[in-house]
Amino acid sequence: MPPKTPSFNFKQWQARRTRVSSALVQHDCLGQMLEPDMFTELVVMLRRELKLSQAHESVLRDSLLEYGGAELTEELGDRIAARIAGGFDDIKAGKAIVATSTVPRAGAWMPLEVSELRFDAPRQHKAYVKMTAMVITGALAGRMLTQSMPAKATAIFFANNLGWAKFGPRPVHSELVKMMFMGLIVEDGRKGLQVDEYKCTSKQLQLNKALREDRALPCLKGHRYQCKTCPIGYSECPRGTHRYTWVPRLCQQCKDERAIFDPAEPNMKVCLTCRSKQARTAWAQERRGVT
């Protein structure tokens, strides 16, 4: 029997996610190291913010235990918000969201959000993209999954499932960032948890369509470039097609002093453009056969 697709209330989840994210900013939690004292303060703050009883503190603590000792970056804060929002009903019922990396043998359908899509190293002259997606509810809520996918399959089959028309121009991979989909998550002995199949519910298709339409509108900040090439990340703009706003720095390879870098990679010496040059060349050749 195939695994069941769980029901999911996105509006409710988004409201809780926003509430937790706002609380982390309001209480100056971002940038803090989650050492024992700070971790305890975080648990107490979240319990009060969510209007839970004092008895729920141990449940929240167990649900967030894997993050103990880490720096509470914006990305980690988003994962915490997604975990609490996605498992709120369990937490309220006194059941902790225990960190796990296993799924049933047949896999499990779970809702995911695309966090990043970037070119990966080409293989056998074929372009690949690396997808990072976040599970937004269930036992794996807040967990990030990363896997490499053929660029052609991403632009055709994956995009079609996310709501792109089967005929017409194909999307740039970055245009799929922040899109929602249901993924059949399976356990791969070598690669870990991977998305084996994907599809969209009618609600997810509505959300994806709304985001596409927003990105087609004039820029919110008055810039001339399109969302798919915009340097501003979705950490600052809801229409962004990558997480953080790119920063200009000297690239050790092309020697461009204003080459683009991801601030999440402070030790990287080669810019994003140089790192994806071979993949973009391979993809340009493949695109001639993509309709």
Q: Write out 20-83 in H/E/C secondary structure.
A: HHHHHHHCCCCCCECCHHHHHHHHHHHHHHCCCCHHHHHHHHHHHHHHCCCECCHHHHHHHHHH
Check the CA dihedral 71-76-82-83 and report its sign: negative
pLDDT in tens, 152-167: 999 999 999 999 988 8
Indicate the pLDDT class of residue 138, thresholds 50, 70 and 90: confident
Residue 100 structure tokens:
């796990």
Indicate the pLDDT class of residue 99, thresholds 50, 70 and 90: confident
Q: Tell me, which fold does domain 108-219 have in CATH? A: OB fold (Dihydrolipoamide Acetyltransferase, E2P) (2.40.50)
**For residue 137, what pLDDT is reported?**
85
Could you tell me which residues are beta bridge partners of residue 271? none
Rounded Cα distance between 112 and 141, Å, is 9
Q: What is the average pLDDT score of the chain?
A: 90
**For residue 2, what pLDDT is reported?**
47
> If you average pLDDT over residues 122-148, what whole number do you get?
91
Could you tell me which residues are beta bridge partners of residue 110? 183
> If you average pLDDT over residues 253-270, what whole number do you get?
93
**For residue 239, what pLDDT is reported?**
94
- Per-domain residue ranges of the chain: 10-92, 108-219
pTM: 0.88
Q: Report whether pLDDT(98) > 80.
A: no
For 61, how many CA atoms within 13 A lie in the half-sphere containing its CB?
13
